[in-house]
């Protein structure tokens, strides 16, 4: 898989992370394919953009097994970027891959915490348990895999925490604000994933995205933004007890985001374990790739903040 460019198929290629994944694959010279639902008007522009980039587009539903198998049989690598509500739909992708011995690597949709090494409040734990089910099914099927722990999406959380599109005088701080998180720019998550998906070193391994320039606390983030904008923001602290109560009282799926906030920004789970000599870390594995640090992303937000995105949990 080294010298010859691998053919890469992306499921969920028109989604939030998926579109970055497709573009990264094309930019690295891989013959790139997407398996997507029949085009709806809201996705037409992206559909045409993919066509202009030379992307091969398979249209079908996840229930259409013959179509999926036919698509999977044409590629070397399958990457899923399906959203949280569709995570268990990946059993169907696994079933299709089992019928395609040509597939050399499967990257299931994770891109968050290292689910086998952390735990969370019940609403978030349930989400992580689904990811673990997909991991175990992939392993049981004997499919070569790479599991991606990309921690947090930087543009998403910078928008959520700082609201760079608006001129605000106050910000919410979850807990005391000191817990360290890892915020990785979405384009970098995609680029690292494409690299890892064809790297023999990452076969049947977990790769963790923890670049040193992206390890920050909420207070770090707020202070940096204040310096760059020349403003002083009023901080409103939301206690851990309040967040836990909300995770228990809010209905599904509204209880999931608060449980995620607790895990990342109060418990600090993304930095709760040390990486050892056996761990694979993306910025060390690919030192030639110049990632966008959180500081650089804040500079971008001063001029042209990335468009905010609402996450779907159901």
Instruction: Point out the residues that are catalytic.
Output: 131
3-class secondary-structure state, position 106 = strand
- Of the candidates 107, 86, 110, 88, the one whose C-alpha atom is nearest the C-alpha of residue 97 is 107
Q: What are phi and psi of 9, to 5 degrees?
A: -110, 130
- Residues with Cβ within 8 Å of 84's Cβ and at least 6 positions away in sequence, in order, are 127, 256, 311, 312, 313, 314
Q: Determine the length of the chain.
A: 314
Q: Where are the alpha helices (DSSP H) in the chain?
A: 18-27, 44-52, 65-72, 90-98, 122-140, 154-162, 186-197, 218-229, 240-249, 255-261, 282-285, 294-303
CB hemisphere CA count around 298 (13 angstroms): 19
- Of the candidates 161, 191, 190, 157, the one whose C-alpha atom is nearest the C-alpha of residue 270 is 157
Give the count of beta carbons closer than 10 Å to the beta carbon of residue 215.
17
Strand-pair category, 105-107 with 215-217: unpaired
What single-letter DSSP state applies at residue 162? H
Distance CA 300, CA 288 (A): 22
Distance CA 124, CA 128 (A): 6
Distance CA 105, CA 92 (A): 16
Residue 103 near residue 143 (C-beta atoms within 8 A): yes
The residue whose two tokens read 């990335």 is: 306
């Amino acid at each position: 898989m080294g010298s010859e460019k691998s053919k890469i198929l992306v499921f969920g290629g028109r989604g939030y992370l998926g579109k970055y994944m497709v573009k990264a694959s094309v930019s690295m010279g891989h013959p790139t394919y997407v398996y997507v639902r029949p085009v709806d008007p809201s996705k037409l522009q992206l559909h045409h953009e993919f066509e202009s980039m030379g992307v091969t587009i398979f249209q079908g539903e996840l229930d259409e097994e013959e179509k999926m198998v036919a698509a999977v049989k044409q590629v070397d690598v399958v990457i899923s970027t399906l959203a949280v509500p569709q995570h268990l739909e990946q059993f169907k992708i696994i079933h299709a891959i089992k019928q395609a011995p040509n597939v050399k690597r499967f990257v299931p949709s994770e891109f968050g915490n290292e689910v086998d090494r952390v735990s969370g409040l019940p609403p978030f734990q349930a989400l992580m348990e689904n990811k673990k089910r997909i991991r175990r099914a992939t392993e049981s099927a004997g499919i070569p895999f790479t599991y991606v722990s990309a921690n947090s999406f930087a543009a998403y959380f910078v928008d959520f925490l700082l609201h760079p599109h608006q001129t605000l005088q106050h910000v919410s701080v979850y807990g005391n604000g000191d817990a360290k998180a890892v915020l990785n720019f979405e384009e970098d998550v995609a680029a690292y994933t494409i690299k890892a998906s064809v790297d023999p070193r990452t076969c049947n391994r977990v790769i963790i995205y923890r670049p040193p320039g992206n390890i920050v606390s909420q207070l770090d983030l707020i202070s940096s933004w204040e310096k760059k904008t020349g403003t002083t923001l009023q901080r409103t602290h939301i206690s851990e007890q309040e967040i836990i109560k909300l995770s228990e009282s809010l209905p599904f799926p509204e209880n999931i985001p608060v449980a995620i906030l607790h895990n990342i920004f109060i418990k600090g789970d993304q930095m709760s374990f040390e990486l050892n000599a056996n761990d694979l870390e993306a910025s060390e594995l690919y030192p030639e790739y110049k990632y966008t640090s959180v500081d650089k992303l804040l500079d971008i937000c001063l001029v042209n903040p990335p468009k905010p995105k609402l996450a779907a949990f159901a």
